[in-house]
Amino acid sequence: MRVSMKVDGVTYEDEVEPRTLLTHHLRDGLGRVGTPIGCDTSNCGSCTVSIDGESVKSCSVLAVQAAGADITTIQGLAEGSEWHPVQKAFQQHHGLQCGYCTPGMIMASVDLLTRNPSPTEDEVRHGLEGNLCRCTGYQNIVKAVLSAASELRGEGPIAGSFRDADEPVPATSGASS
């Protein structure tokens, strides 16, 4: 089937098999490999992208179902070289380690903050329930999202548990609040 969709600002028109998953079309068809695949049961959320402003696991959608859609992947989130506040917050709060879940986690977080600009810690945890991370234990992801929320509200990023990047940490103090 002939399918047209806009991905990260570029319109593509391609012939796809009706059974092709959107995630495979993005990766194999369009070469948008910034969105990785972590499972085959729509549990892990690594492949989360934004379709017409809503976060969707791209393995749970057929490419043909996304015909005519405006899709943003992690590769289209930054404005030029200026990262989205959620991207910045993930680095600042060390919300990633291996980084494999990160594209999906960030896209899900962006959507979460669109729907709830002032979430509590608990709301962030539940809002990201569909995205698995095996490295971080989630604590720093939650902090990053809360910090990005604050920044998006115009209140500036919140201080993290870490001391400022430029300040050496005293030898025997607790490393976190």
Give every CB contact of residue 98 below 8 A, 6+ residues apart in sequence: 134, 135
d(CA 48, CA 57): 4
Distance in Å, CB of 161 to other proteins, minimum: 8
70-72 and 2-7 as β-strands: parallel, antiparallel, unpaired? parallel
Which of residues 5 and 76 has its CB atom nearest to other proteins in the complex?
76
71, β-bridge pairs: 7, 51
Query: Which one of the spans 60-68, 111-119, 122-130, 146-154 is the region binding other proteins (CB under 8 A)?
Result: 122-130
Binding to other proteins in span 67-86, by CB under 8 A: 73-75, 77-78, 83
Residue choice 22, 51, 106, 110 for contact with other proteins (CB under 8 A)? 106
Which helix or strand (DSSP H or E) is residue 48 part of?
strand 48-51
- Residue 119 half-sphere exposure, CB side, CA atoms within 13 Å? 25
Distance in Å, CB of 21 to other proteins, minimum: 10
- Contact characters 50-69, other proteins, x per CB under 8 A: --------------------
